[in-house]
Amino acid sequence: MTDITPPLDLAQLREQHALFVRTAAHALRTPLQSLQGFAELLEPGLPPALAEHYISFIKREAAYLAGVVDDLALRHELAQGPLMLFPTVVEVGAFLHEAACTFEARLPDCLVAIEYAEDLPTVHADREHLLHIVFTLLRNAERCRPDRGDLGGLTVCAHHEPGARQVVFVVEDDGLRIPTEYSEAMFEPFARLPPALGRPRLGIGLGLFVARAVARQMGGDLYLASGGNCSGQFGNAFVLTMPVVERQVEP
């Protein structure tokens, strides 16, 4: 069954354009101000420990801006039609190590632990786009950390669901628990959520929308789990599924 979205009228288009401009300006201004401020603090003779601390902030804000630019570019491509994908065989363990190392290089004060079984099957995906999705989830989780600025950690778990012929990736965060009624709205572009829910992510409002759209074009999906290990007032689990290479699966 095809989901056909009715076209927007002129007033709705103007409203969306105005919302985009406001959101983009706010999302870009804050990290740019941080970059400028910390760059100005990097003066000759600065103690090495303090310089390293400032540089870690610069790397974090630069990684955030790179993610925003990627989301904007992908949103534009998605509006033109299906993405041009280059799917290949991806070995999950090696991929997770690469993702963790790359993320830690960009955000030195945030370590990424990976948990997976050694016998996981390979998945069929566009490697670069898969990396973008995982980075989106990790960036969101990092911005929800209560102790940002101190050394912290995130975890990516992966397991195999043979019946569904897919590998499941899970990234959990420590943000305010998202009620079930907003679990789909999180994936809408420029989603209008209660301030308490939208504030922890401080993003441009395209990351999860783009990530889900790309995942589905690769034959997978992305959603917010209703259960899992999260309980109480805080904690969310974002679940990404990717199809396994069919030749590995017994009929």
**Which domains are delineated in the chain?**
1-251 (3.30.565.10)
pLDDT for the residue 36: 81
Prediction pTM value: 0.77
Measured N-to-C along each axis, helices 48-80 and 127-143 cross at an angle, to the nearest 10 degrees, of 130
Q: How far apart are CA 224 and CA 222, in angstroms?
A: 7
pLDDT for the residue 204: 58
Beta carbons within 8 Å of 43's beta carbon, 6+ residues apart: none
For each of the chain's 251 residues, which pLDDT tens digit applies? 444 445 556 776 677 666 666 666 666 777 777 778 888 888 888 888 888 878 888 887 888 888 888 888 888 888 888 889 999 999 999 999 999 999 998 888 889 999 999 889 999 999 999 999 999 999 888 888 766 656 668 999 999 988 889 999 999 988 778 888 888 888 887 766 666 665 444 555 788 999 999 999 999 999 998 654 455 677 889 999 999 987 654 44
Q: What are phi and psi of 211, to 5 degrees?
A: -60, -45
What token pair was written down for 14? Answer: 């103007």
Strand 152-161 and strand 221-224: pairing?
unpaired
Strand 152-161 and strand 110-116: pairing?
parallel
Q: How far apart are CA 193 and CA 176, in angstroms?
A: 13
pLDDT for the residue 183: 85
> Is the C-alpha dihedral spanning 156, 177, 78, 159 positive or negative?
positive
Q: What is the 3-state secondary structure (H, E, C) of 52-83?
A: HHHHHHHHHHHHHHHHHHHHHHHHHHHHHCCC
pLDDT for the residue 93: 96
Report DSSP letters for 13-48, one per residue.
HHHHHHHHHHHHHHHHHHHHHHHHHHHHH--TT--H
DSSP state for residue 221 in the 8-state scheme: E
Q: How far apart are CA 42 and CA 58, in angstroms?
A: 11
